[in-house]
Amino acid sequence: MTNSQQKLFGKRSFLDFTLNGKPIEGKPHLMIDNNVRVELWDNGVLYFHPQGDSLQQSILLSVGVHGNETAPIEIIDQLVSDIFAGKIVVKQNLLIVIANLQSIKASCREVVENMNRLFNNNFTPKSDDSDERERSRRLMKYSQHFFNQPALQKVHYDLHTAIRGSVYKKFAISPNACELPTTGYQYGLLGQWGIEAILSTQQNSPTYSAFTANTCGATSFTLELGQVKPFGENDLDDFSSVIAGLKATISDDEYLPMNNKVAKRFSVAVEVLKQTDNFRLGFSSDTVNFTEFEVGDVLATDKDYQYIVASSGERILFPNEQVAIGQRALVIIRPQDNVEASTL
């Protein structure tokens, strides 16, 4: 462990310090090799700022919005240690966020409520707000502050792993409303990182990535990188292409992909809401994400409603019969080539 890492975190790693260390007083900061200023903005919120006059990219890397999605948290912890050890030279403005600390400590997805539905500035603070609500409010403030600085590009990767299996093991959700040149560049990059599918969605949802896309002007992605496992059971080799991509992005190295893979593109056709207790899915509960159905298949029924596959190539995402009434119970997606002109 290097001196500078010890100065900030004692004898602990960033993750260990974040979960078990002393409360932070003030805004500890120091310089590391290669003229990079490091500031600890809050518990689990670490800022790297290479000094100099040239304009850099601003990259926000967040993990642990769902506390049991441990692989990305381990990846970030290793990345921070590698930076302090000089193995990775930070050449971009970089904000690293470990989001839902209470749920990570409790080894659960959420303690009170799903944090990835709370990134919305319209909630009025109340005295009995959950830890998740308070934390998301602080993270919105830090993210806005971070992205307010001028930058060549503003990019946010919010790293997750999924509960459900998936036809495409690694996929991205892209909430940006319009396709800027940066977005196309990022789509290409993510394909090289081994991301197999990218879903564009302009539904106004209060996820962390939608917040930074819509409020902070970032090109943002929720990245689903594989299946949920407890700490210590992840094989980080499963994530090697993503880790290599992140390292190259942070250090401004040319990323040399092993192959020239291109991610398949999808867009949201319909979001099916659960309207009554009669809501039922038309397929078994263990059906994996991105499963394709045939025209005419009934995918969901409710009192006075059913969803029947209307065009070829339709697939399902995030099915969940158990959500509260009024919440999204199923997403129907279509390959982007098949999107009808009227919906583009």
Interacting residue ranges for Zn ion, rule: CB under 5 A: 66, 69, 160
- Beta-carbon contacts of 1 under 8 Å, excluding residues fewer than 6 positions away, are 11, 81, 84
Taking each continuous run of H as one helix and of E as one strand, the counts in the chain are 8, 15
Report how far residue 333's alpha carbon sits from residue 319's, in angstroms, rounded to the nearest whole number: 12
Q: Which amino acid is at 188?
A: G
CB of 68 to Zn ion, least distance (A): 9
Catalytic residue selected from 69, 110, 224, 314? 224
For tokens 């990079």, the residue is: 36
- Beta-carbon contacts of 256 under 8 Å, excluding residues fewer than 6 positions away, are none
CB of 253 to Zn ion, least distance (A): 28
Decide whether 66 or 334 has the Cβ nearer to Zn ion.
66
CB of 91 to Zn ion, least distance (A): 29
Decide whether 238 or 314 has the Cβ nearer to Zn ion.
238
Decide whether 40 or 333 has the Cβ nearer to Zn ion.
333
Report how far residue 6's alpha carbon sits from residue 30's, in angstroms, rounded to the nearest whole number: 11
- Neighbouring CB atoms inside 10 A of 211's CB total 26
CB of 95 to Zn ion, least distance (A): 19
Would you state the structure tokens that stand for residue 245, as one six-digit string?
């991509």
Nearest residue by C-beta to Zn ion? 160
224 is known as an active-site residue: yes
255-264 core/surface letters (b: 16 or more CB in 10 A; e: else): beeeeeeebb
Decide whether 226 or 282 has the Cβ nearer to Zn ion.
226
CB of 168 to Zn ion, least distance (A): 16
CB of 116 to Zn ion, least distance (A): 6
Decide whether 322 or 343 has the Cβ nearer to Zn ion.
322
Residues β-bridged to residue 31: 37
What's the burial of 323, exposed, middle or buried (CB within 10 Å: 0-12/13-18/19+)? middle
- Let me know: does 112 contact 157? Beta carbons within 8 Å: no
- Beta-carbon contacts of 339 under 8 Å, excluding residues fewer than 6 positions away, are 267
173-210 core/surface letters (b: 16 or more CB in 10 A; e: else): bbbbeeeeebbeebbebbbbbbbbbbbbbeeebbbbbb
Decide whether 147 or 208 has the Cβ nearer to Zn ion.
208
**Catalytic site positions:** 224
